[in-house]
Amino acid sequence: MLSDALTALKGVGPALAKKLEKLGLHRVEDLLFLLPLRYEDRTQLVKIGALVAGARCLVSGEVLLAETAYRGRRNLLVRVSDGSGQLTLRFFHFSRQQQAQFQNGVHVTCFGEVRRGSAGFEMIHPEYRILRESQGAAMSDSLTPIYPATEGVQQGRLRNLTDQALRAMHDDPPVELLPESVTRKLGMPSLAEAIHYLHRPPPDADIERMQAGKHPCQQRLAFEELLAHYLSLRSLRALAETDDAIALIDGSEQVSGFIADLPFTLTGAQRRVVDEILGDMSQPHPMMRLIQGDVGSGKTIVAAIACLKAIACGVQAAIMAPTEILAEQHWRNFSDWFGPLGIEPAWLSGSQKAAARRESLESIAHGRAQLIVGTHALFQEGVAFSRLALVVIDEQHRFGVHQRMALRDKGVGTEGHPHQLVMTATPIPRTLAMAAYADLDTSVIDELPPGRQPVSTIAVPDTRRAEIVERVRAACASGQQAYWVCPLIEESEVLDYQAAEASYQALTDALPELRVGLVHGRMRPAEKERGMQAFKEGLIQVLVATTVIEVGVDVPNASLMIIENAERMGLSQLHQLRGRVGRGAAQSHCVLLYKPPLGRIAKERLAVLRDTNDGFVVAQRDLELRGPGELLGTRQTGLPDYRVANLVRDAELMPQVQLTAEVIRKSSSHRAAAIVRRWLGDAGRYGKV
């Protein structure tokens, strides 16, 4: 029964089944894992005389009066009394038949939120039931669940369907897939007990604990769901380890010579990560490694060393970035580094002119292009590589798993799969990385190059804008340069463009003695390049920009960063922008301009940036304040949504999830597959394309 389609349930036809699909419900068993969002207490009647505004409660009484009133709009007002006081039920949408139900003397039970109205307490559009003679008030024997809703499916219908699913579960309980040693160690109930409790909690259940997601029954389900996701990613990794790859063992002299000729010395952390990467690439199985590093920690040069190793072995390397501006930055850097070695990087992007694109595609296909830099265009149809053996993906969280796999598949051939190196400048807390990137080995560049100074950060209301403009004037008068960033507002390119233009005009007028430049996302790449290059060369003293400079030019002389509307932005993005300064010898400052009044979350966010320059601390707080979807970019990552688990709330479960997964993988591949199937269904192999 549990594995049957939903149409096996009473009252579910094809039309309702279609609506239920929007909630991710396909089989009867799926209803068991559609957990309530919250609960309401309808187990006790509250006397009308004891009602308080804001409470949601169950009351019962006799109808004294029902009338239609016209106060701006048509209202049905029903006056009810239980002897202790009176309450008005207000309906804006009602039929003639509905009004006829509320005859004087009829008894009614209703549930809703108590509000203070002009004539005392009232409930607007409460749920209600007309009672027959001698029938008592309808009270529940358990807390009432409120489920995620979808159009055309009322709460009552969902409760009825989950009742049927719970009865089916009682007759045929789901198989216990967690080892008994784990559930005993963690003090967890059985799966069937946990499911029944969460759908129909007893009246004395601790609602606060359940709302916080910390009840043992919730933790039992969250644990198994986290385990399913982790097992799925680890199985991807296991499959990759059976794939072949070209063992890149030549080129040690070229790599050593390149490192020795650099105008700077690699940090200890960079050297450690380079050793880990080159060790992986020397194996006959594809490397799958994630590099994490704070802003300015030097991830790009590490990637360059990996690319040179591949090229020295006679194969191709490709670097994919999520935006043209970041891809352009990489193309410039790699051209500077590799030009003296006779290696000219090829360029491939969506905005490329047809002739240039044809030339690049031909060069890539025939193997003349040893290093290819580009955007999503790299894995589109029509792109054929000669011997792609290394794929480098920057800002991993901005790409889906499918996109990463699509580029990898471009390199699959008779010699095997390409090695993969993915990078992110958004530090990811360890527990989140364990859950999100379990198919990758992780390297952390946890050391900044010498000379990088912490950036002093302050938050200032925009009413003090004139003071900040004077601060910019003083910094530039002393020979420094400044960024003035106007972030994207309400996801609108038009507003973004206008904000930058307006700030550019205002600063040009206020600072006539300074050279002010402008860079924004709607400019042509060549225009952006000219603006950034002029700033880098000191021809422009103040650069007004949108968040396109979140990743971009390295200007050691820029020591002041002003960010407008900082309260609208996420912590990680603010930290990225702040990382554009503090690259030279001078003490650098970041000013977060905000529009008062600030909400609680915005205050906490700005306080974090004032208190720390540590990207991992910033990321952890961002995770707590905004959730994993915002930090990793859930829409892009390709990670399925969690039905019960919450990566922030349940992070403490991850170490035990990891241990349990390894035990299950070694002892029972059948059990591992069953756990993945239960929670992910056909999405169990979501990383493969």
pLDDT digits (tens, 9 = 90+) for 253-269: 999 999 999 999 999 99
Read off the pLDDT band of 683 (50, 70, 90).
low
What are the C-alpha distances in Å from 342 to residues 228, 315, 329, 372, 514?
49, 15, 19, 14, 41
Please check the confidence at residue 668 and state whether its pLDDT lies above 80.
yes
Q: Which of 279, 634, 276, 283 is nearest to 432 (CA)?
A: 634
Q: Is residue 663 helix, strand or coil?
A: helix
d(CA 645, CA 395): 25
The pair of structure tokens assigned to 277 is 């990467």
The pair of structure tokens assigned to 403 is 């996109």
Q: What per-residue confidence (pLDDT) applies to 323?
A: 77
* H or E element that contains 410: helix 401-410
Instruction: Answer yes or no: are the C-beta atoms of 299 and 305 closer than 8 Å.
Output: no
Q: For residue 359, report the phi and psi dihedrals to the nearest 5 degrees.
A: -65, -45
- Per residue in 485-505, is it b (16+ CB within 10 Å) or e — as a string? bbbbbeeeeeebbebbeebbe
pLDDT above 90 covers what percent of the chain? 53
The pair of structure tokens assigned to 386 is 């000669």
Q: How far is CA 122 from the centre of its chain?
A: 41
Q: Which of 360, 294, 348 is nearest to 321 (CA)?
A: 348
As annotated, the residues of the chain forming the CATH 2.40.50.140 domain(s) are: 48-139
Looking only at the bridges linking them, the beta strands covering 86-91 and 120-124 are: parallel
Tell me the pLDDT tens digit for each residue of 169-188.
Answer: 999 998 999 998 899 998 99
Q: Which of 412, 392, 386 is nearest to 307 (CA)?
A: 392
Please, which contacts does 45-51 make with residues 24 or more away whose CB atoms are closer than 8 Å? 45/109, 45/137, 45/139, 47/82, 47/84, 47/85, 48/80, 48/81, 48/82, 48/84, 48/85, 48/86, 48/87, 48/121, 49/82, 49/84, 49/85, 50/84, 51/85, 51/87, 51/114, 51/121
Instruction: Answer yes or no: are the C-beta atoms of 588 and 578 closer than 8 Å.
Output: no
Residue holding tokens 């190059």? 449
Q: What per-residue confidence (pLDDT) applies to 626?
A: 64
Q: What is the DSSP letter of 681?
A: G
Q: What per-residue confidence (pLDDT) applies to 569?
A: 82
The pair of structure tokens assigned to 161 is 């369907």
Q: Which of 266, 267, 251, 281 is nearest to 341 (CA)?
A: 251
Q: What per-residue confidence (pLDDT) applies to 550?
A: 58
Q: Sheet harboring 316-320: ordered strands across?
A: 346-348, 371-374, 316-320, 388-393, 419-424, 288-293, 441-445
Instruction: Answer yes or no: are the C-beta atoms of 360 and 369 closer than 8 Å.
Output: yes
The superfamily in CATH containing domain 456-612 is P-loop containing nucleotide triphosphate hydrolases (3.40.50.300)
Read off the pLDDT band of 469 (50, 70, 90).
very high
The CATH architecture assigned to 48-139 reads: Beta Barrel (2.40)
Give the fold, CATH level 3, of 252-445: Rossmann fold (3.40.50)
In sequence order, what are the beta bridge partners of 458? 591
As annotated, the residues of the chain forming the CATH 3.40.50.300 domain(s) are: 252-445, 456-612
Q: What per-residue confidence (pLDDT) applies to 686?
A: 37
Tell me the pLDDT tens digit for each residue of 320-373.
Answer: 988 777 788 889 889 999 999 999 999 998 888 899 999 999 999 999 999 999
Interval 74-80 mean pLDDT: 93
Which of residues 426 and 8 earns the better pLDDT score?
8
Which residues are CB-contacts of 514 (< 8 A; sequence separation ≥ 6)?
472, 473, 476, 541, 542
Read off the pLDDT band of 685 (50, 70, 90).
very low
> Exposure of 396 by Cβ count < 10 A (0-12 exposed, 13-18 middle, 19+ buried)?
buried
The pair of structure tokens assigned to 226 is 């986290």
d(CA 217, CA 213): 9
Instruction: Answer yes or no: are the C-beta atoms of 302 and 274 closer than 8 Å.
Output: yes
Average pLDDT, the chain: 87
Q: With helix as H, strand as E and coil as C, how does 559-617 read? A: EEEEECCHHHCCHHHHHHHHCCCCCCCCCCEEEEEECCCCCHHHHHHHHHHHHCCCHHH
Which residues are CB-contacts of 260 (< 8 A; sequence separation ≥ 6)?
none
Instruction: Answer yes or no: are the C-beta atoms of 328 and 458 closer than 8 Å.
Output: no
